[in-house]
């Protein structure tokens, strides 16, 4: 079992490090061992190495390593994309020669589809324009979403692109562009995940999750059948072996070891697929949860910051006039959007010893008295209109949820400005 145990430990270690790297900064994991480990690995340990470098070499090595690390993590290059492609293709080269002759025609058909789809969706996610905002499409991007006057306020300009930032957009420091509905920059696709390729990214996660689960389960089945043929008393579960009387765990593991070594290529890939599948399914589940909450990875971080302000007593809200009657400043805010809801609140923060803004302050939007906000449960998320509509927004980019301003029907428009369901931002933070 030495070889198998070594492979399993290496794969588990890599999977855990990837999990810590990508999930350690999530708001839901703050204050957990995962967040602490992320700080140790990516903050404290590098600082420790820098201190050693300063003592030994006078700090000559650290800047070079930092530049290389920043290039690998924060610059646009296809290294991780190529690694992902190699991982898929080499795994299939090792797996298929042994497994393919043992498969039925139906399994070959479904297996071929599960193999092809990740490549298709990877290509579409990586090479589709994620939603670059340019002077030519700026006006249409402004009408994609209304400002919620909470996370996104009108009048904010990008200092790099020199354009007004549409609601839910963000400037990507890697792509050097503003991205519509920016979720995050994904190094596995060497591209941002934005309004125009979010659906391809979700489908990539789904197809990869299915492929790893399919390959792992099928590999276990094929190896178990072969081991059962040579060792009739063996069973997949040790207590079911030997006609239900069971066999010692050591003997059961020895037979497993024989099965891996007898079909080493397929066995290694089966083990890799089985150990990495939960990580891929977890990532898919997280992004489906974000869709359910009507938010993005970027916005979940913003909600986390708001939660801190609320706990400190620096957040206040008041009502906003209905979007159909409110006089909008068309220089900085779209007069019409395809979104079926308008904001009902204004949320502001103050640093003046937690003092509530003046009710008659004309520089702040909204009307009526200000109310202190102490938690995310007391504010609403404008961009959550129910799971199925949230899903439509992701899977059908540019879908019109209401009629065009001139009364003509939009693409699949549902007509009218309908009242959305009450969705509290508390759920976003817990995500």
Would you name the residues annotated as active-site residues? 186
Residue 333 DSSP code:
S
Question: What is the token pair recorded at 245?
Answer: 């009387």
Helix (H, G, I), strand (E, B) or coil at 125: helix
- The sign one gets for the Cα dihedral 160, 163, 165, 169 is negative
Query: Please, are residues 383 and 148 in contact by the beta-carbon 8 Å criterion?
Result: yes
User: E strand or H helix at 204, and its extent?
Assistant: helix 198-230
Alpha carbons 98 and 287: distance in angstroms, whole number = 35
**What one-character-per-residue DSSP string does 243-256 give?**
TTT---HHHHHHHH
Alpha carbons 142 and 119: distance in angstroms, whole number = 33
Query: Please, are residues 302 and 151 in contact by the beta-carbon 8 Å criterion?
Result: yes
Burial class (CB in 10 A: 0-12, 13-18, 19+), 46: middle
Alpha carbons 200 and 230: distance in angstroms, whole number = 45
Q: Which residues are within 8 A (CB) of 271 and not within 5 positions of it... i.e. 6 or more apart?
A: 4, 7, 8, 11, 260
Helix (H, G, I), strand (E, B) or coil at 317: strand
Question: What is the token pair recorded at 138?
Answer: 């700026």
Query: Please, are residues 193 and 201 in contact by the beta-carbon 8 Å criterion?
Result: yes
To the nearest 10°, the Cα dihedral for 68, 71, 73, 78?
Answer: -120
To the nearest 10°, the Cα dihedral for 323, 324, 328, 334?
Answer: 80
Helix (H, G, I), strand (E, B) or coil at 163: coil
**What one-character-per-residue DSSP string does 96-136 give?**
HHHHGGGS-HHHHHHHHHHHHHHHHHHHHHHHS---B--TT
Neighbours of 107 (CB within 10 A): 15
Alpha carbons 242 and 69: distance in angstroms, whole number = 54
């Amino acid at each position: 079992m030495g070889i198998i145990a070594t492979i399993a430990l290496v794969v588990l270690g890599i999977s855990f490090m990837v999990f810590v790297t990508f999930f350690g900064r999530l708001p839901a994991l703050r204050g957990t061992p995962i967040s602490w480990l992320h700080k140790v690995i990516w903050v404290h340990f590098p600082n420790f190495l820098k201190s050693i470098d300063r003592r030994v070499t006078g700090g000559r090595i650290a800047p070079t390593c930092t530049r290389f690390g920043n290039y690998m993590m924060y610059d646009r290059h296809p290294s991780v994309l190529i690694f992902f492609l190699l991982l898929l293709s080499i795994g299939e080269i090792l797996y298929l020669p042994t497994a393919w002759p043992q498969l039925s025609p139906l399994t070959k058909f479904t297996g071929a589809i599960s193999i092809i789809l990740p490549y298709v969706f990877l290509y579409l996610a990586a090479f589709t324009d994620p939603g670059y905002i340019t002077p030519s499409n700026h006006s249409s991007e402004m009408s994609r979403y209304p400002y919620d006057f909470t996370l996104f306020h009108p009048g904010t300009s990008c200092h790099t692109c020199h354009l007004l930032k549409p609601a839910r957009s963000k400037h990507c420091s890697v792509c050097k562009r503003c991205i519509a509905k920016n979720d995050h920059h994904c190094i596995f696709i060497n591209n941002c995940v934005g309004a125009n390729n979010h659906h391809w990214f979700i489908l990539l996660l789904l197809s990869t999750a299915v492929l790893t689960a399919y390959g792992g389960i099928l590999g276990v089945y094929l190896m178990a059948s072969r081991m059962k043929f040579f060792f009739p008393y063996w069973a997949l579960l040790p207590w079911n072996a030997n006609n239900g009387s069971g066999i010692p765990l050591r003997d059961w593991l020895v037979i497993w070891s024989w099965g891996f070594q007898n079909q080493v290529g397929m066995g290694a890939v089966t083990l890799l697929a089985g150990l990495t599948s939960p990580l891929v399914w977890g990532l898919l589940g997280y992004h489906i949860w974000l869709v359910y909450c009507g938010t993005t990875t970027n916005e979940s971080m913003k909600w986390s910051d708001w939660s801190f302000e609320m706990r400190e007593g620096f957040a206040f809200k008041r009502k906003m006039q209905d979007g159909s009657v409110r006089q909008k400043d068309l220089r900085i805010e779209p007069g019409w959007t395809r979104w079926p809801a308008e904001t009902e609140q204004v949320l502001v923060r103050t640093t003046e010893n937690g003092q509530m803004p003046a009710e008659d302050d004309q520089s702040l939007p909204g009307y009526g008295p200000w109310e202190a906000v102490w938690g995310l449960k007391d504010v609403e998320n404008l961009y959550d209109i129910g799971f199925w509509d949230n899903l439509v927004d992701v899977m059908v980019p540019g879908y019109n949820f209401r009629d065009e301003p001139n009364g003509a029907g939009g693409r699949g428009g549902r007509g009218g400005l309908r009242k959305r369901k009450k969705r509290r931002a508390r759920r976003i933070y817990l995500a």
